[in-house]
Each structure stands twice: as C-alpha cells, then as structure tokens.
Amino acid sequence: MIGKHFGLLAAGSIALALCVSGSLVGAALVIVEQRESNGSGSKTNINGKVSGSCSANGVNNTITCAQQGPSMANVAVVESAQQAGLLWFDGPPHELPKIPSKFAGSNSCRDPEFMTWARSTDRLYLTGIEKDVVLTAGDPDLVVLTGANLIISSRQPRSASDGTWIKCIFGGGGITYSYELRIESQTLKNTLTEIVSCDDPSAPKNCAEVFEGPAKPMPPASVALGSKSVADIRITVLSKLDHAYSGKVAVASTVNGADRNFYIGTDNTLLRWVGFEPTSEEEDWYATDNSGRWVKNWSPACGDYCND
C-alpha cells in the first residue's frame, strides 16, 4: 500500500488537503478528505467536479486524475521454439564433447540450459542461428523493429560428411512466430515476411499449415506495435551451401521513440551455424543414452532398440 498527502493552496487562502491510500498503478486519485483553512476569502467552484486534472480552486471538489501505469514496452531475444532438432559437430563421433549429466537421455534444443551449453561449446554448430526477437507493447506504447545486419566473423568450407550429427529434439512442434526476417549471407540483403496461422480468419481457404505473405525488402519494411500486443520475429540466415559460419547479428529497434540497438551474439560468444542439413545418405545421428554415453541413433522413445 502507498500513502500520500497533498496540500493545495486555493484562491483566497482556501486550502485543500487530501490523503490517498492504495495502489497508484493504473488507478485514479480521488479526494477522500477535504477541509477549509482558517483564512478568509471568496469560495469558488463549490461542490464541483474536476476530471483529468490533479488541482482545482475551491472547496468540496472531487478531483480525479488518471495515473499512467508502468510501460509494457520491451524488446527481447529468445531461443527459437522452432528448432531444427539437430546440432552438427565438426569432428568424428569419438571426439564428441562430454555432455552435462543432467541432459543425458533427454537432451533437447528446447531446453535453454542445454542451448547455453551447446552455444558455448567449440565445434558445435546449429543448422541456423535459431534466435527470435520478441516485441511487446502496451497501450499507448510504440515498439518498432526497424532492421538487422549480419556480421560474419568466419566462413569456412564444410560438408555434412565432415562431421557428426547430434539429435537434440525428439518430436515436433507448431509454428509460433508471426514474422520471419531472412538475411541473405552473401548479399546481406534482408526481407520480412508475415506468417499467418491457418486458424487465423485472414488465412486463405486452401491454407495447409501456415500462410506466408509477400517477402518485403527490409528496410523500408518494419514490424511496428502501436497497441497492446506481442510479435515474435524469427531471424533466418540464408547461408552458402556447404559452409560453416560464425558471427553475430546487429538489431535496430525503437521503444516509444528511443533507439534500442543491440547484438545477438558477441565477440566472446559468437553464433555458429552451418549451411546444410542432413540428406537421406546422412540420416545417422548420435545422442546420449540415460548413462550419458554417446550412442548412434539412440532415442528416448525406444532406447537401445534404435541402435545400429
């Protein structure tokens, strides 16, 4: 509870005193106690009401003034919920890194702790950067994603057969992001595409899973929230085939008119990803069994039954 006392000097030495107790967040202030000073003078605006202002002259007035609650405006970076389910290790199976024991048997790219471990472990790569930018706005916030630039630190020729696939998601998942920002790694040009679920009334009748709108160059395209809402923007890098990358992404946004620029990845913790995925000849993967051993084609669904 918050208690505040206000003293207002009115015309002709008419004083008002008010005491307000209660939560001030998103609420209105209303006088609950009034008194006239001992001084003399004319009285004005007797028994009146004032809205939208926190001061008035006179006595016996009810004053109501809206208080602005805390802003909901925010820009955050999260691990993408739509992970490819695989990591690629730049080396043979017998050199696979030791995995933390708490992830044995159920290691998953959907687990933030597992992904923190994977991103900090040398020679482990994702099949994309697998990062989303989430915009949140209240009313009357204005939150805008204006652009993103890919900064490549290294690009080396690699093929899937040079390394080892690691299975880190077992099972599928639905689409959760509402926009896809695609960065072309060679031209560094960006396009923005709106993604609409087939459950949405605006989706066409022949929609199968999701409907993709037209790809628009970014800039000038942007994602802007001007009322209470949330937007999840997935960042996808269109990489050169058969190459392994490291780098970071510079993101530009504004929150209620103020610039909010930041990096995804840093010089000390670069993003790592590859420009390939498994083919039919490269379906074999490794995962840790319940004892933490790397086992070919192990799955928590069928255990050793899946092993070759």
DSSP state string for the chain: -EEEEEEEE-GGG-EEEEEEEE--TT-EEE-------SS-----STT-EEES-S--SSSS-EEEEE-------EEEEEE-SS--SEEEESS-GGGPPPPPGGGTTT--TT-HHHHHHHHTSTTEEESS--EEEEEEE-SS--EEEEEEEEEEEEEEE--GGGSEEEE---S------SEEEEEETTT--EEEEEEEETTSTTS-TT-SSEEE---EETTT--EEE-SSEEEEEEEEEEPPTTEEEEEEEEEEEEETTEEEEEEES-SSS-EEEES----GGG---EEE-TTS-EEET-BTTTBGGG--
d(CA 139, CA 271): 35
Burial annotation 237-254 (CB, 10 A radius, 16+ → b, else e)? bebeeebbbebbbebbbb
HSE value, Cβ hemisphere, 13 Å, CA-based, for 268: 0
Terminal CA-to-CA distance of the chain, rounded, Å? 65
What is the per-residue pLDDT for 246? 97
Say what the pLDDT of residue 97 is.
94
Low-confidence ranges of the chain (pLDDT < 70): 1-70, 82-83, 171-175, 199-204, 207-211, 280-283, 302-308
The DSSP bridge partners found for residue 273 are 126, 245
Which pLDDT score, from 0 to 100, does residue 201 have? 66
Q: Determine contact, residues 267/163, Cβ cutoff 8 Å.
A: no
Q: Which residues contact 202 (CB under 8 A, 6 or more apart)?
A: 196
Residue pair 72/256 in contact (Cβ under 8 Å)? The answer is no
Predicted pLDDT at 103: 87
- Per-residue pLDDT reduced to its tens digit, 187-225: 999 999 998 777 666 666 776 666 678 899 999 999 999
What pLDDT sits at residue 139?
Answer: 83
